[in-house]
Amino acid sequence: MKIAPRQADSFLRAPDPAVVAVLLYGPDEGLVRERAEALVLSVAETLDDPFRVAEIDPAALRDDPARLADEAAALSLSGGRRAVRLRRADAVSLDAIAGLLGLAPGDSLVVVEAGDLPARSALRKAFESAGNAAALPCYRDEGRGLAGVIGETLRGAGFEVAPDATEYLVARLGGDRQATRRELEKLVLYMGPPPARVTRAEAEACVGDGAALSLEDLAFAVGGGEAAAAERALRRSLQEGAQPVTALRAVAGHLQRLHQARGLAADAPMTEVMARRLRPPVFWKRRDAFAAQTRRWSPGALAGALDALLEAESACKRTAAPADAICGQALLAVLRLGAQPRGGHPARPRG
């Protein structure tokens, strides 16, 4: 069965007892891990008791394909339900997993963690079609969802949050749920004992660097045709732990926002579009550059660039070529597209 995003929290708190295995997958690896831990805690009430929690990786299943079923059938020596956690599941894991999906519910819940799986993935199809299994996608936090995570975390620590501080944090966070949590925990420590109000100045002082900011630098450099700056930002992003596919998506997301802003500017000044109509709004220090880029890119060039980025992401997943090289070549192609003379286009954005 499929679990809708709006049902995720309730399912994590109380998994359906008829479910023997849950697949967590998606582009946000931090959210996959966070939800896996929540499921394990809801079933076994612990993450590290060896009598209640068993952890397996795909390499172990290659050597012993029956181990997953054996762990799922084992009883806890200390009482209570057990959780079996399979990390980094891949196609090789599918045969071992498929043997579980016809079993009746028992005393163990198998929690399977995977990366971003396409709709045609055999692993996804197996969980979505089984009556005693569940698949839960883990997408990146953005917009209102990210603002909710920020507000919930900071208010839970005893702090009020100024609206402009939330705007700043939404623009800086969201690529990975656990990275977002770490940045917010750092901000809580910076604030000191509550109660207090988190202002934009305090958010800027504490949350301003790291891979998320490097990816934003990359996106703006590519959008502005700054090849040398784009190369530096890409290198820094990869050094800070970002994946090539994440870099491609950051640039694609930026170009999509340029396209959206051009459309919205047909009946409103660009200043209003950037501050109020786009969600999240464009960070105020970036607005001049963003407005210039909406004028720089034609609709045709944006469409071509987005196609190139999508093809590069697909190539990263389906070919043996180094993903870093594919990413770099795709960004160079996008830079060239942005430099092409503009052809016909809709009315010039106002503002």
Enter the pTM of the model: 0.59
Residues 51 and 162 in one domain: no
8 A C-beta contact, residue 326 and residue 318: no
Amino acid at 221: A
Residues 18 and 129 in one domain: yes
The answer to whether residue 155 is domain-embedded is yes
CA dihedral (147, 185, 138, 50) positive or negative: negative
**Domain boundary residue, one of 116, 137, 158:** 137
Residues 102 and 222 in one domain: no
Instruction: Report how far residue 8's alpha carbon sits from residue 217's, in angstroms, rounded to the nearest whole number.
Output: 33
Greater pLDDT, 62 or 24: 24
**Domain boundary residue, one of 137, 163, 187:** 137
Q: What is the CATH number of the domain that holds 281?
A: 1.20.272.10
Instruction: Report how far residue 47's alpha carbon sits from residue 339's, in angstroms, rounded to the nearest whole number.
Output: 52
pLDDT one-digit tens code per residue, 312-336: 999 998 888 899 999 999 999 999 9
Residues 241 and 132 in one domain: no
The answer to whether residue 346 is domain-embedded is no
Residues 96 and 157 in one domain: no
Residues 223 and 174 in one domain: no
Domain count of the fold of the chain = 3
Tokens of 35: 């939800």
pLDDT bracket for residue 346 (50, 70, 90): very low
Residues 262 and 231 in one domain: yes
Phi, psi of 161 (to 5 degrees): -130, 125
What is residue 54's three-state secondary structure? strand
The answer to whether residue 261 is domain-embedded is yes
Residues 215 and 326 in one domain: yes
pLDDT bracket for residue 224 (50, 70, 90): very high
**Domain boundary residue, one of 90, 118, 137:** 137
Residues 245 and 322 in one domain: yes
The answer to whether residue 351 is domain-embedded is no
Residues 92 and 128 in one domain: yes
As a whole number of Å, the end-to-end CA separation of the chain is: 49
CA-angle at 193, arms to 189 and 196, nearest 5°: 100
Residues 106 and 42 in one domain: yes
Instruction: Report how far residue 210's alpha carbon sits from residue 47's, in angstroms, rounded to the nearest whole number.
Output: 29
pLDDT one-digit tens code per residue, 86-115: 988 877 788 888 878 877 777 899 999 998
CB-based contacts of 213, cutoff 8 Å, min separation 6: 172
- Give the helix ranges, DSSP H, for 116-210: 122-129, 143-156, 163-172, 177-191, 200-206
8 A C-beta contact, residue 297 and residue 223: yes
The answer to whether residue 215 is domain-embedded is yes
- Predicted pLDDT of residue 342: 59
The answer to whether residue 344 is domain-embedded is no
Preceding peptide of 195 cis, ω within 30°: yes
Which residue is associated with the tokens 């498929």? 98
pLDDT bracket for residue 285 (50, 70, 90): confident
User: Which domain, by its residues, includes 101?
Assistant: 5-137
Residues 270 and 149 in one domain: no
**DSSP H/E element including 35:** helix 29-44
CB-based contacts of 136, cutoff 8 Å, min separation 6: 3, 8, 11, 22, 23, 24, 25, 35
